[in-house]
Structure 1
Amino acid sequence: MRLLFIFALFTTLASTSQAASFDCSKATKPVERMICETGSLSTLDEQLAGAYKSTIKTSRPATGTDTSELLKSSQQRWLRTTRDACKNVQCLENAYVGRIAFLTQWNEDTPANSKLDGNYEFSHNMEFANGKHAIVQDCLAIKSLGNAQAQVNTILVQSNGHNCSLNGKFAMAGNVYSYLPEKGEHDFQNCQIKLTVKQHQIVLSAEGDGCSSRCGAQASFANGASFLRADKSKKACVAD
């Protein structure tokens, strides 16, 4: 009987250490131990990890803009501010179910007639020429004007802190906004800038030879950008 008990205990510990998407034998946070000790949470954690990996693989949608860094930043923030803040199983189950839905909707178009007016940001780490690092913010502001048009201001912080900004009108067609160059804007003759609105993100993409020269040698719209729709900043984005 003693040998059977020891074997059963070893089997239980072994299966527990393999639960969830991480090594439970190395769990240090209370929330991690709760996940490892609760079967339903372990299953949800594995499902979340699968959804995250799948979404990362498809984070370069038809717009051509890579949104993987935005997704990674969003996931890290969710772990820190939502999952790790839970104190009980029900809170964690709700958090996981909501996050899995968020990930599966990542590349889905926004529903028709969604209200988009507001200020959005994406924080990212910037390395400067002197070797120093700093957290900088790309920002985007949208204000509907009527007649299927919107005023859009955006500032992208790029190589060595150089900015690329745009302040102008966009034509709306479904979930795609297209920039309407003003007369005399010759640097946009060969650059088409679009905003594609997804369920949880807004993706800026640019196509054409002129996109690389719009803002100088160290900044451009050529690589596109992305913004979390949940990142509504209190300070408006004001382009030059």
Structure 2
Amino acid sequence: MKKLCITTISILGACLLSTYANAASFDCNKAATWVEKTVCDSPELSKLDETMAKKYKSNLATSSNYEDSKVFKDRLIANQRTWLTFQRDTCKSEECLIREYKEYIEAQANYGVAWDFSDELSRSDLPSKNAFGNFSQKSQISLYNSGTQRWEDTGEATNTVSIHSVANKPYLSIIEGVLVFTNAHTCDLGESKAIWSENHWVINDDQPDKAVELRLYPALYKGQIQLLLRDIDNQYRELHCGMRGYFDSIILEREVR
């Protein structure tokens, strides 16, 4: 009987070891969401999660080297929360998670992520109604006064992005937007066709010598549906808005009607 108990305990211990082998950067015993459970169940994702956490901790540790270390550290923390909310936690497949982790770790984009066979998407793969609508954000505008050689606030402007559905093609949208930047420089997105790609809209405007991609991630953030703009490698704004327009990581809130 004693031998049987020892054998049973040994088997149980082996099972526990295999369960916790993919420990990730957090306690897998407390994994509650689909994303957390998927990370824990996948050896590849577990390793990516650990690497991501190490990079984040390293960035925080070096933030003290900057002149305004507190501001830099606060920005790092905010960017991390944004990535988790809008990019990682909106994924619904392992492939999507792997892409988001790798882009975070490598600090470069994996292009060509849009669906190749959009007509064959299941209902769960398609964007929800919250991925459409009007999104806006108030922005403080500053102008440079050459006389005083100072930047001066001149009031507020409203950044707007509208995502319109396309009849009988739920994986497509038409995106319009006007963004206002420092020195009142304005960027008009025009009427751009976007395709849904797992957890975001993507506008592709590839050039002969480079890939140009603007992504728009909708997510529930701070109790509101909001939209994160990701200008991959800042190529989109350079092509369409000039060097003075910079809108990567801008977050706009969905207007409720």
Please, what TM-score do these two structures have when normalized by structure 2?
A: 0.41
Please, what TM-score do these two structures have when normalized by structure 1?
A: 0.44
Task: From the two aligned structures, give the one with the greater helix fraction.
Answer: 2
Work out which structure has the larger RCO, using CA pairs closer than 8 Å and 6 or more positions apart in sequence.
1
